[in-house]
Structure 1
Amino acid sequence: MSSSVVSVRYTHPQAVLWVVCLIALIAVAGIALPYPILAPLFAATALNDFNHWLGIAPEILLGIALAANPLGMLFGSATLGALSDHYGRRRVLALSLTLAVAGYLGSAWALSAEWYPGFVLFRFLTGLCEGSVSICRAIAADLHPQIERTVAISWMNSALYAAWLVGPLVGGLTMHLGAFVPFLIAAAAMVPCLCMLYFLLPPDLPLQQHQPFWQQLRQHNSLRLVRLPLLRLVVAAQLLYTIGLNAFYEYYPLWLVEQQQFSGLQIGLITAVLCAVMTTVSAVGMARLGSRLPALHGAKIAAVCVALMLFLLPFTSGKLAWVWLVLCGVPNAMFSAWFQVYCTEHFGELGLGRVMGLLTLLMCTGNVIIALAGGVIALFGASWILWTGAMFIALAALMLVREQRRSAATA
C-alpha cells in the first residue's frame, strides 16, 4: 500500500505550495541554465581539454552536454514520482534534492577543472534528480481540498513557465564571474528548499510493505501506466500535444530569423514576454477562472485554439507576428492546467506521483522526438515545422474528443 493513498492534511498548505513551486522552478531552470554558458565555451577559438575532449568536434560535445540533463530528467520523471507514492513524498523529495545539490556542485567543479566527462555525468545526475518535478506536481494535487486543485496546479505551471526565463537569465548575468558560478548559485538555492521541506511537509507514514527497492522500482514506475487501456487516449493526447508544442518552442526562433529577420535581442525579448504571458495566465487567470469549465472540455477547446493559432502564425509578419506569437501562450497555459486537473481527478487512484511522472515523461519524450525530426523538416523551411506542430496538436484535440466520449459512456 502506498503512503499516498492516505489523505494528508498540511498544517501550512499555502506555504507548502510556494515551496514546491520554487523547487520546480529551480529544477526546470537547471535545464536551461547552461544555454548561455556552454555555447561560448564550445565556440571559442582556443581549444582545450573541455571543448575538444578526445579530439571530438566541439559541436558534438556541446550537443551531448546539453542533452545530458533532460535525458536524466526523462529517467527521473519515470521513477521518482512513482517511488514517492510508495516511500512518501517528503522522503523521496528530500533525497532527490540532496543529490541535485551534489550534481550542481559537481558540475561547477568539473567546469572549473575542465573535465568534460565529469561535467556530462554530473549534469545527467542533476537531471535525474530534477525528475522530482513530478513529485512537486503530485504534492500540489495532494493539497486538494485545502487548496482547490485548479489553483494549485495553475500556480505550479506558472513556476515551470517562469523557469525557462529564469534559467538563461541567471546563467547569462553571472557567467562573467566564471562559467561555474551559475551552478553554485543553483546549488545554494536548493539548500533553503530542503530546510523548508523539513518543517512544512508532514513526516511520511511508516511503510506497510517492505519490497526490495529494485522490485518496487520495476513494478511501480510511471512507464507501466502506458500499458493501461484506461489511459490510452490520455497518453496519446499528451504525447501528441507535447510534440506539437515543442515544435513551436524549439523552432519559432528559427522561423523568426528566416521569415522575419529578427535579431538575437529581439528573439530574447519576445521569449521573455511569452514566458511572462503564460506565467500570468496560469497564476492569475486559470487560478481564478479555471474551475468554471469542466477540465476535459476546457482542455479540448484550448488545444483547438493552440492548433489554429500555430497554423496561422507563419502567415503573419511584422508587429502582428510579435503579438500573435505571444498570444499563442494564452491557450497553451489554459490547456496545461485543465489537462493536468482532469488527469489527477480521474486517475489519481493510480498514484498521483505515477500520473504526474507519466505526464512529465511524455513531455520529455515529445521533446526528444521533435528535436530529432525537426532538423529534417527544417530543410523545407521553418514554417513547415510550425505547421507540423499545429497538426500534432490538432490530433491531440481529437484524442481528447474521443476521451470525452469514453468518459461519458462509462459515467
Structure 2
Amino acid sequence: MNHTPKRTAVASNDALTERSQAKKTLFSVMLVVLFSSAGIALPYPILAPLFLNEISPLTTFAHLPSKILLGIILATYPLGVIIGSSVLGAASGVYGRKKVLILTLVLTALSYVLSALAVIAENFLLLAIARFVTGVFAGNISIAKAIAVDLSPKLDKTYTFNLVNATGYLGWLLGPLAGGLLASYGLDTVFFFAAATLFIALISVLTFLPFDEKAWSQEQIKFRQLFSSQNSFALLSNSKIRRIFSIYLLATLGLNAYYEFYPVWLVERFAFSSAAIGYITVLLTLFMIFTSVFMVKKLNYLLGLKNGATLGMVLMALLFVIHPLLSSSTIWPVYGAIGVAIAIFNGLLPVYISEQYADIEQGQLMGLITTVFSLASVIMALVGSALALFGAHWAIIFGALLLFIAAIDFSYSQHSKH
C-alpha cells in the first residue's frame, strides 16, 4: 500500500500549522514594537518646545543652556538602551525570548511612571535617571526583532523584518501625534499614557507568543556571563563584524543627527508648535510605513541588499544637506522623501548584516544592531547639541557628511555572500 499521499498531506498540514503559528508570533511581535515605539516617541514633540520656550527648574538646571539640557535628556534614554540591548538580546537566547520580553515590558512601563513623577516634581536629575532606566528595559525591541528573524524560513526574512519595521514606524507616527495632542495636559500625562500603552503589548505577548526553546541551558551560562562573554559587544572581537558595524555606526550617527535635531530646527526656523511637529512627523512616518511595506522587498529583488542599502544612505545624505534651502512649503514634500530614504536604509542594511552573519545567535546580533544605533544616538545628542548652539541645521548637515562617508565605505569594503 502506498502511504506517500497521506504522508504528504500530514506534512502539508504540519507546514500550514507552523506557518499559522509563525503569523501569530509575528502579530504579537508587531504589537510589542508598535506600542514600545509609540511610547518612545510620545515625548519628542514636547521636549524641544519645552526646553526652548519655557522656564522652569527642568529647563534651567545648574544654569546650563537649555539646548545642552535638552541634549542630556535626549542622550540618557539611548545610553540606557546601549546597556539594555547589549545584554537583553543575549539573555533572551539563554532564558527564552518570551520570559525576558514579559519582564522588560513590565519594567519599562514602571520606568515611564517614574518619568512622569519626575516631571511633576520638576526634578531634572530624576527625569534624566528615569529616562536612562526606561532605555535599559526598552532595549527589548532587539528581542522582538530577533523573534522576527527566527521565523525564517517559515516566513521570508526580508518580509518579516520590514513588517516589524513598518510597525515601528507606525508607532513613531502615532506616538508624536498623541504626544502633540496630549501636550496641553502636560508632559507627565504623556509619560503616564506611554506606560498604559505598554500593558496592551504585554497582553499580546502573554496571549500569542509561545514559550520558546532556550538556545543554551541556564546551567551552561551564568547570569554574570551576559555582561562579559555573552553580551552583544563580544561580537566585535570578529574583525569582519567590527568593520560592518563601524560603517553602521557612521550611518546611524548621520541618521540620528536628523532624528534628534529636526524638531529643534523646525522650532528655530519655522516656530513649529508641538502639534505641528507631530503632524510633520506623521507625514514622515507615513512614507516610511508605505515604503517598508510596499517598496523595500521589491528594491531588494531589483538592487540586492548591498546596493539598496547604499541607495538609502546616499538619498538620506542628499536630503539632509539641503535643509538650509528649505522653505515652509518645500519642507513637507522633502520630509516625505526623507521617510522613503530612511525606510530603505532601515529595511535593507540590518537584513544584509543578518544574512552575512546568519551563523551567529540572532538575539545577540540584533542586540548589537540596537546597541550601535543607540550609541550613535547618545553621541549625536551630545555632539549635535553643541553644534546646534550655532544653529540646528549644522547638526543635520554634519549627519549628511557622515552618511556620505558611510555609503562610500560600505560600497567599496563589503562583498555579499549572496
Q: TM-score by structure 1 length?
A: 0.83
Indicate conservation of the 8 Å contact 2:75/2:381, yes or no: no
Distance 2:150 2:376 in 1: 26
CA distance in 1, matches of 2:125, 2:332: 41
Asked if the contact 1:110–1:119 (Cα under 8 Å) also holds between the matched residues in 2, the reply is yes
State how 1:276-291 maps to structure 2 within 5 Å: 276-287=286-297, 290-291=300-301
Aligned counterpart, 1:31: 40
Give the corresponding residue for 1:347.
357
Aligned residues of 1:10 and 1:201 also touching (Cα < 8 A): no
Q: 1:337 aligns with which of 339, 344, 347?
A: 347
Q: Is the 8 A contact 2:170 2:285 kept in 1?
A: yes
Q: Tell me the secondary structure at the aligned position of residue 331 of structure 1.
A: helix
Structure 2 residue corresponding to 1:135, chosen from 122, 140, 143:
143
Name the residue aligned to 2:206.
198
Change (3 A) 1:98 1:10: farther
Q: Work out whether 1:79 is the aligned partner of 2:90.
A: no
Amino acid at match of 1:24: V
The alignment partner of 2:139 has SS state of helix
Deviation of residue 239 (structure 1)? 0.7
Check if 1:170 corresponds to 2:178: yes
Equivalent runs, 1:147-296 vs 2, <5 Å: 147-177=155-185, 179-205=187-213, 207-210=216-219, 211-253=221-263, 255=265, 261=270, 263-264=272-273, 267-287=277-297, 290-296=300-306
Q: Aligned AA for 2:137?
A: C
Amino acid at match of 2:43: P
For 1:35 and 1:267, how far apart are their aligned partners in 2?
Answer: 9
Q: Percent identity over the alignment?
A: 38
Match of 1:124 among 120, 132, 137: 132
Q: Distance in 1 between matches of 2:73 and 2:391?
A: 27
* Cα 1:92/1:299, change in 2 over 3 Å: same
Q: Which residue of 1 aligns with 2:23?
A: 14
Structure 1 position 180, deviation (Å): 3.2
Give the secondary-structure state (helix, strand or coil) at the position aligned to 1:350: coil
Other-structure match for 2:8: none
Q: CA offsets per residue over residues 119-166 of structure 1, 9 Å max, x none?
A: 443332221110001111111111112221111111121222233332
Q: Deviations over 1:76-121 (max 9, x none)?
A: 1111112112222112111111211222233334444566554443
Using the TM superposition, give the Cα deviation of residue 302 of structure 1 relative to its aligned residue in structure 2, in angstroms.
2.5
Pick which of 217-226 and 60-69 moved more. Answer: 60-69
Question: Which amino acid counterpart does residue 352 of structure 2 have in structure 1?
Answer: Y
Matched to 1:238, the amino acid is Y
Unaligned runs of 5+ in 2: 1-16
- The change in CA–CA distance for 1:191 and 1:377 in structure 2 (over 3 A counts) is closer
Number of equivalent positions: 397
| CA offset digits 1:294-321 (Å, max 9, x no partner) | 2122212322233333334544546344
Distance of 1:404 and 1:194 partners within structure 2: 39
| Unpaired stretches in structure 1, ≥5 consecutive residues | 1-7
What amino acid sits opposite 2:159 in the alignment? V
What is the alpha-carbon distance in structure 2 between the residues aligned to residue 156 and residue 130 of structure 1? 16
* Cα distance in 2 for residues equivalent to 1:246 and 1:121: 21
Sort the Cα spacing of 1:118 and 1:201 in 2 relative to 1 into closer, same or farther, 3 A. Answer: same
The question of whether the paired residues in 1 share the 8 Å contact of 2:81 and 2:138 is answered with yes
8 Å CA contact 1:90–1:197 kept in 2: the answer is yes
Aligned-partner Cα distance in 2 for 1:21–1:93: 13
* 1:303 and 1:331 in contact (8 A); partners too: yes
CA distance in 2, matches of 1:192, 1:317: 40
Residue 151 of structure 1 contacts residue 288 of structure 1 at CA under 8 Å; is this kept in 2? no
CA distance in 2, matches of 1:312, 1:183: 34
| Cα contact 2:72–2:381 (8 A) shared by 1 | no
Change in CA separation of 1:170 and 1:323 when aligned onto 2, cut-off 3 Å: closer
Report the AA paired with residue 364 of structure 2: R
**TM-score when scaled to structure 2?**
0.82
1:23 partner amino acid: V
| Aligned-residue RMSD, C-alpha | 3.2
Contact persistence 1:302–1:334 (CA under 8 A): yes
Alignment of 1:299-338 (within 5 A): 299-317=309-327, 319-338=329-348
Q: 1:327 to 1:117 in 2, by over 3 A?
A: closer
- Find 2:103's aligned residue among 95, 98, 101: 95
